[in-house]
Every structure is written in structure tokens, then in C-alpha cells.
Structure 1
Amino acid sequence: MQAKARSISVRRDDVSVMVRMMWLAFVGMLFVLAQTIAAHARGESLAPLAEQISPAVVNITTSTLVEGQTGPQGIVPEGSPFEDFFREFQDRNGDDNRPPRRSNALGSGFVISEDGYIVTNNHVIAEADEILVEFFPGDGQPVKELPAKVIGTDEKTDIALLKVEATGPLKYVQFGNSDTARVGDWVIAMGNPLGQGFSVSAGIVSARNRALSGSYDDYIQTDAAINRGNSGGPLFNMNGEVIGVNTAILSPNGGSIGIGFSMASNVVTKVVDQLREFGETRRGWLGVRIQDVTEDMAEAMGLDKPGGALVSDVPDGPAKDAGLLAGDVILSFDGVEVEDTRGLVRQVGETTVGKSVRVVVHRDGGTQTVLVTLGRREDAEREEEGEAEATDEEQGAEDTDILGLTISPLTDALRSEMGLDDDAEGLVVSNVDEASEAYSKGLRAGDLITEAGQQKVTSIEDLEARMEEAREAGRKSLLLLVRRGGEPRFVALSLEQ
């Protein structure tokens, strides 16, 4: 019995020792884990990552011939949407008669391929006569500045694609997925701030999906220090991938206060791919005017909640051809739910030109699906610009002052503007001299002269002919038929003016 008792006691002691050993091992593991967490909490050095990605970051110097200006040329061309963020102030009191001079500007960029493609901001190189690229010093890096040519630019996203010819393969970086970036993630900004040379700053993602001024804006907000000269440089995640292109800062004094904006890489990559392939962007175009749906609108239209994009007008274009109507609410586009107008504009712009897409709309209390073949936005914009120029020419080419009136022939654009029928004819009064008889007799800008001397007039020559006929007949005045708001009245104006 005693032997058996001793055996049981020994086994119990063994178990106790094993439990203590396991407990000590567990405590040791917790200690190691705590040390690891503490190390991460302190923040490990970013030096290895910075050394890895620095060779792909470049400084960009541009040269521009400036006519008759004496102040320093800013690194953002006048008129840029980011002029307030990234520009040097010009001396606007200088002598404009001075001879032309060369002005230099600075920016940043990064290499995206071993054969020399470089991404930067459009405002960095806009209107530049010469572009030089300086590479990060190191083994295998170009020692001298290399000239760059512009492959393509996109003002809407402020992105430009350059190309240099190097003697060997260049070190480059790759784009990451900006949609995976989370608020609070660590990021690194690199570039040439204030012309001081290559520089690294670190911070976090402060916010996402910021919009500043454009329809295609999708900015990552960061508190990493970004200053003048950083424009066009990369914003990296901790994997060394580019998730943004540093573009703007919000600042009352021109320096960094921790509010910087980088165009998201998922926007940039689509633009860069098109610039690389076509030398220009090719965005999809739906051809509608839209507005956001408010809570009141949603209730009035029988929608469960605000959302989608309300069609306010359907001019000639793909949407009209497909049968979309004013009053439709676009709920989904190409299988993707439409949250608001900004989202729809981006979805359409990123869709291939010529693609037929299904557009689901809310109409008359139900939903309908419309198949739309997208056009190209750039073509539509050029056509609109051409029409605007033609309208300006039509409105201004034959403006003439007669009898105290400034008049011009009626054009299609003016008919539309004045709400007149397509077959309406006459001369439009654009201005009336307040010291004239015409003014005293009630003629005003916007009046339409349809007859003179009881004959139709459709041109300045017609009116001048009626005036000459009246004089030859010995008349001292000319009878005009004037319409205002569709109501006609006769007015006699003296020819002795």
C-alpha cells in the first residue's frame, strides 16, 4: 500500500511540474507578444522602405518663356484649380514692356516603368517649353538631368504623363489599390519641397473620397507634410505602392498645416493608361444633365430613400437616343448602384466609349431598364465649344448701331435664348442709347424688329434698304414693327438723326 501511495504521489508531482512549465511557457509567449506589440506601437524605422522607393522619385524643373513680366513665375500656371495651393506670387506691378525672359518652376514626379514613363501633375508642366528630370542619386541612376517629352495630359484630374530616354532600365514603383487604404493607415510622401531636394515625410490617411473642384475628384487627405514642390510626387503605403499623387494643400500661409490632398491611384491609373495608349483621355459620355435627389424629392416621387441621380434635361446625345427622359431617376448604371450625381459622373467617365450599358431608372412609380451606347465626353465638349464659338460669331459679326439701336440678325442661338419659334425672323435689339429717340419711345434691349416700312426685315442690309427707300420717298421717319414678349406694336423713328 505504501509503495502504491508513493507511486501516486510521484505522478501528482510530475503533473504539477508539467503544469508549471506550461504556465511559464505561456507567460513567456505573452511577454514576446507584448514586446512585438510594443515595438510596433513605438513605430519601426521607415528608413528601409524609404531607401527602397526613393530611386523612383524624381525632381522636375520646367522652363517657360514669359512675356513682359518681372515677378517670379509660380510653379502652378495661372488659372490652375490649385493656384491657391502651389504657386509663387508674381510681381504684378512690373513693367510689361520688358523683353521676354525665361522662368523656371519646380515640381516632383515618379517613374512607373523601366523604359522611362513618369507621372506628375499637369499644372507642374503646363505651358512649359522645356522639361528636365533629375533622378535620385545612387548606383545605376542617371547622373545628369534628362529632357522629358509630354505624352499626354488631363486637366480634369491634374495628371500628366512624361517620357525620358535613358541609357539603361530605370528603377520604378508600382501603383497600389487606393480603395484598400483606410483612415489611420500610415503613408509616406516624397518629393522636392520648396526646391530643397529629395525629401521624405510621413503621416496617416486622414480622410478619403475628398472632392475639391472637379467632377472626377477622389482625393486622399493626409497629414504628411506636403509643401510647394511636392506637387506631382507620390504618396506611398507601407508596401511601397503608390496610392496617390500629391496635388494640393489647404493652407492660409502657403505652407503645410497637415491638410494635404493626393489624387487616388485608382483614378490616376485609368488616366495614365489612356494617356499612354492614346496620348489623351477617352471618357464615356451619357449626355444628361443631372442633380441629386433630396429627401423631399424622394418622397414626392415615391422613392424609399434619397439616392440616385435625377435627370433634369436630356439634350441631343446617347441618353436621348436611348429614350431617357427628364424626370427619370437613374438608380443603377452598368450594374452598379448610383448613390449620387458625383458617383454617376465618375462611373460614366470610367466606362469604355462605345460600350452599351444597362441603365435602370425610376419612372412613373416603377423601374425601367434602358440600354445606352455611350459616346465620348471629349468629342461632346469640343462640339459644345465649337457651337459656342459659332454663336459668338453669329451674335457679334453683324452687330450694328442704327437709329440709336444696337441690333443684330436673329440666329438659332438667339431664338433658343429668347424662347422664339424656329421660324421666327427679324433683328434683335441688344442695346438702346438712353439719349436716343428710340429709348424715349420705349424700345429696349431684347425687343425684336420684324418689319421696317411695312416690309419684313431679316438682315442689317434689309433695314438699311428700307431707310434709304423712305428717304428717297421724302419721308422724315421710318415705321418699325416691334415685338416684345410676343406682343407687337408700331414705333416711328426719325431718319434725321
Structure 2
Amino acid sequence: MKKFSTLFLVSLLSGSMTLGAYKLLFDTNGYFSNDKISAVTMASNSYGKKVGLSADVIDFTEAAEKTIHTVVHVKNVSRRTITNPMLEYFYGYKGGQSQEQVGTGSGVIISEDGYIVTNNHVIKGASEIEITLNNKKSYQAKLIGTDSKMDIALLKIDAEEKLPYTVFANSDSVKVGEWVLAVGNPYNLTSTVTAGIVSAKARDLDTSGIQSFIQTDAAVNPGNSGGALVNTRGELIGINTMISSMTGSYVGYSFAVPSNIARKIIEDLMEFGNVQRGILGVEGGELNGTASKELGISQTQGFYISKVTKNSGAEKSGLNKGDIIIKLDELNVATFADLSGYINTKRPNDKVQVTYIREGKTKIIPVILSKNEFFSTEFKGIELENIEAADKKKFKIDYGVRIKSINSQNLKQYEDELIGNIILSIDNIKTTDVETVSKLLSKKEESQTVRIEMINKNGEILRVIL
């Protein structure tokens, strides 16, 4: 009986403790009541958004369905004559065999009346351009204009019906980590959609043209060039342009021309027939820990001005050597790619609010952009300027900078032979324009020798070392 009483008391005590614990934790005012759970959830939500990885949270199907009908297959047909030097030498044979070459890529319809944007390298050298729509209809395309520097080309087809098209998004608003889709025709596999995220913005790959790519990990392969990079709403944020790979196939990194740059080029080609480039009128480089230490400054982000171009908007507004640009309008400038990418969306005479640091103080001034073609750069006593359309036609070239004047006493004796010559490359790097040359030469000391390839006024190729 005594054992039973003891057992009964232990059971009663255990039950009371269990009931008390339940009341404490789960009752109306308990710690894990519905109200408390809501409070905990709300508190966690206040620290950040949920990571949406499941199909229930994010759906790519609508964006894919929108885009695949606006992305086209681009076929580039070019012809070249193959000659036999041995037959020419021994028998005086002057004939040649015509050989057809075919290249393929992608393009994006941007208007219902048939304007299409693609990469310049997709259609370069084409004698015929054929466009195949997603519904398998094919059309011959007319080349409206190109911008080799930014690798953009504008085509036009005449279709019987109104075409589906992709609308432009603001690429400046794209965020790192945002979901994106790449749509194109890799390896002639039409209407291929791949998904990834934006890995980086304003990526500078040190190319001769674009210095402000959108980087993504969406799979892009040969044939995707000229295709669309879109957000989850199916809006165009970039034109897929290149991959970074040792094999030529996708290995995890791909790059797109931002839609804001592409749209500005397209509008220029439509309105003016050529690209209207505005420049700030400054030379220099982006800051980092090493550069800041060498310059003796504490600021480690921004664009450090080492030279201001004469008669440029920057000089007229009062920007000086030593100023550090940290913002253009509402865009923060941490790298050269930030600065060049934003300026590439502007035209001559556009006004830009420049925020800069001078002697530790932050200031803001408006700068009116100047026309790029009016300016020159100087290296080793040689002043260089951009070539004109007449030069391109005369020498059958699409790039180069012209020797404007000779200011070096050592070269004065060769002045007549040098002025007017067109420099094609410096140290095997194409001299696309004055801006490219300025960037290239800013990395070299005046005492360094450089190898120059040029065309003289008679059309002869010369190679010199300076």
C-alpha cells in the first residue's frame, strides 16, 4: 500500500509538471502560442527577404514564353576568293576559287515592324544575312548600322505581320544575385533557355571597346551571341556577347552588353546613322588599396583624375587633376567600368551631375559632355586624333587613329612623313579610337618603347619602334 501511495504521488507530480509546461509554452499567452510564433516570424522577416529557390516561389515559364518568340536565329553568309600562290608564280594564273563561309548567332526583335539587335561580330563581313523566326519563317535582313566598339549591330526585316518583340529594362537597376534568363541558339539549337543569376555588374574585361559588362552564370555557348539576357518579367537587360573560357565553351562565366548601352546605340543608329559619343574629358584610373597608397590618399574607391582634356566639359566645369569622382548623377562610381559604362549611355551636350572629392571635401558640379571626335591625346610627342569616315573609306579600314601633329624635337625631321598616317595598333593592341589609346598609353611610361603599326598616306603598312 505504501509503494502504491508513493507511485501515485510520483504520477500526479509528473502530470502536473507536464500540464504546467504545456500551459507555459503553448497556451494562449504561452511562449510558442500563435501570437508568439507570428511575432518571431515577423521579427525574422524584418532582417531580410526569404531566399526564393523553390518552384513555388519563382517561375521562369512566363518570361521564357515571352522571350523565345522574340529571339531569332541569325545566319551570316560571306564569300572569299581562295588563290593558289604556286600557280600564280609559275604559270601566271590569276583566277581563284570562290568559297562560301557561314556563321550563325542570335538576335532580338525590338520592335513589331522588324528591327533586330545582335552583336557586330555575328554579322561582320556578311554579304547576306538571313533571319529565321521562332515560327521557322525566314527573311533576308538589311544591315542598318553597326558599332564595332560596343559590338552592337542593328538589322531590319520586312515581315507580313506584326512581330512579337522584347521591351527594354533599365540595366542600371539590375541587382547582383537577381535571377536572369539567357535565350538564344547555341550550336544551332534554336530557342534555348538557360537560367542563372547576375554574378557581377560593370565588369571590366580590358577589351578595346566595352568596359562595363553584366556578368552572369547562366549558360551561354557559341551561337548565343546576340541573344537576349532577360529578367524574370521577360524584359531585356542585356545582349549576350561573350564567354570567358579556355575551351571555347561555357565554364561558368558569360557576359552581356547592358541594355541601356545597347538601346542608346540603337537609337543613335536610327536617328543619326552613326553613334553619337559623349565624353567627360578626363583621364586617370580607378582607385584601390595599392593605387591610393602610391598617391598618398585615403580614398580607396572612385576614379582618380590624372589629366583633364583641354576645352572639354570637365575643364570648363572646373574639374582638376587630383579630383576623385565618386558619383555620376545617382550612380555610385567605384571603378573605371562604372564611369565608362554610364558615360556610354549619354550623348554630346548631355548634362551629368558629377560628385567628386577634392582635398577631403565632397562637391557636386554639372558637366556638359563633349563630342568625342573633337579630342586628341599625345604620347612621345605625337598628337593623335580619331579618323573620319573618308579615311575609313580610302584605306578600307574601320578603326585607327590619325597622327595630327608632331611636337617631339626628335621626330620633327620626320614630320612630313608622319602627319596624316593612321596608327592601327600599339604593341599589337588595336587602336580603336582616341579613348582606347588614352587608356592604353596611360599604363605606359614615356621612357618605355612601343611597337606601332601604321598606314602611310600611300596606303603602305609601316612598323616602327618608338
Change (3 A) 1:253 1:316: same
Shift of 1:208: 2.9
How has the CA–CA distance of structure 1 residues 187 and 302 changed in structure 2, closer, same or farther, with 3 Å as cutoff? closer
* 1:195-274 matches, cutoff 5 A: 195-212=188-205, 213-214=207-208, 216-274=210-268
Question: What is the aligned partner in structure 1 of residue 112 from structure 2?
Answer: 114
1:53 corresponding residue in structure 2: 67
- Quote the offset at 1:419 in angstroms: 6.3
Query: SS in structure 1 opposite 2:275?
Result: coil
After TM superposition, give the deviation of residue 265 of structure 1 in Å: 1.8
Check 1:124–1:69 CA distance in 2 against 1; reply closer, same or farther (3 A cut): farther
- Residues 417 and 314 (structure 1 numbering): CA distance in 2 closer, same or farther, change over 3 Å? farther
Whether the 8 Å CA contact 2:75–2:102 is kept in 1: the answer is yes
**Partner residue of 1:341 out of 328, 336, 340:** 336
TM-score (norm 2): 0.62
Give the alignment of 1:402-441 within 5 angstroms: 413-414=405-406, 416-418=407-409
Contact 1:58 1:109 in 2 (8 A): yes
Distance in 2, matches of 1:39 and 1:345, equals 34
1:447 — aligned with what?
A: none
Structure 1 window deviating more from structure 2 (254-263 vs 156-165): it is: 254-263
Q: 1:159 Cα deviation (Å)?
A: 1.2
- Residue in 1 that maps onto 2:125: 127
Partner-residue secondary structure (3-state), 1:114:
coil
The offset of 1:42, in angstroms, is: 6.8
CA distance in 1, matches of 2:414, 2:237: 59
Moved more, 366-375 or 342-351: 366-375
| CA distance in 2: counterparts of 1:426 and 1:264, whole angstroms | 44
Please tell me the root mean square deviation across aligned C-alpha atoms, in Å.
Answer: 4.4
The question of whether the paired residues in 2 share the 8 Å contact of 1:307 and 1:331 is answered with: no
Structure 2 CA distance for partners of 1:369 and 1:300, relative to 1, 3 Å: farther
Secondary structure (helix, strand or coil) at the match of 2:78 reads strand
| CA distance in 1 between partners of 2:287 and 2:310 (Å) | 23
Q: Deviations over 1:263-287 (max 9, x none)?
A: 2223222222222222221121233
Secondary structure (helix, strand or coil) at the match of 1:268 reads: helix
Match of 1:160 among 153, 156, 173: 153
Residue 105 of structure 1: CA displacement? Answer: 1.0
Query: How many angstroms apart in 1 are the aligned matches of 2:59 and 2:363?
Result: 57
Kindly state the Cα deviation for residue 214 of structure 1 after the two structures are TM-superposed: 4.6
- 8 Å contact from structure 2 (residues 202, 341) kept in 1: no
Q: What is the distance in 2 between the residues matched to 1:133 and 1:275? A: 20
**Aligned counterparts of 1:190 and 1:324: Cα–Cα separation in 2:** 46
Instruction: Identify the residue that residue 442 of structure 1 maps to in structure 2.
Output: none
Amino acid at match of 1:157: M
* Structural mapping, 1:48-127, within 5 Å: 48-68=62-82, 98-127=96-125
2-structure distance, mates of 1:412, 1:265: 35
Aligned to 1:455: none
Distance change >3 Å, CA 362–CA 425, structure 1 → 2: farther
Q: How many angstroms does 1:55 deviate by? A: 1.5
- The change in CA–CA distance for 1:347 and 1:171 in structure 2 (over 3 A counts) is closer
For structure 1, list consecutive stretches of 5 or more residues without a partner in the other structure. 1-18, 28-36, 71-95, 138-142, 391-410, 431-497
SS at match of 1:161: strand
What are the superposed Cα offsets for residues 146-189 of structure 1, whole Å, 9 maximum, x if unpaired? 11112221222211111111122111111223344334433222
Letter paired with 1:240: G
Amino acid at match of 1:211: D
Aligned counterpart, 2:13: none
Mapped partners of 1:175, 1:263: distance in 2: 13
Mapped to 2, the partners of 1:184 and 1:107 lie a distance apart of 27
Over 3 Å counting, the alpha-carbon distance change for 1:53 and 1:211 in structure 2 is same
1:177 aligned residue (170, 180, 198): 170
Identify if the C-alpha distance between structure 1 residues 258 and 340 changes in structure 2 by more than 3 Å, giving closer, same or farther.
closer
Q: Which has the larger radius of gyration?
A: 1
8 Å contact from structure 2 (residues 385, 404) kept in 1: no
**Structure 1 stretch displaced more, 42-51 or 246-255:** 42-51
The one-character-per-residue Cα deviations of 1:108-155 (angstroms, maximum 9, x if unpaired) are 011111111111111111121111111111xxxxx6411111222122
The alpha carbon displacement at 1:63 in A equals 1.3
Whole-angstrom CA distance in 2 between matches of 1:296 and 1:186: 34
Q: Distance in 1 between matches of 2:338 and 2:307?
A: 18
Query: Which residue of the partner structure matches residue 321 of structure 2?
Result: 327
Which residue is 1:286 aligned to?
280
CA distance, structure 2, for counterparts of residue 359 and residue 188 of structure 1: 34
Secondary structure of the structure 2 residue equivalent to 1:273: helix
Helix, strand or coil: the match of 2:54? helix
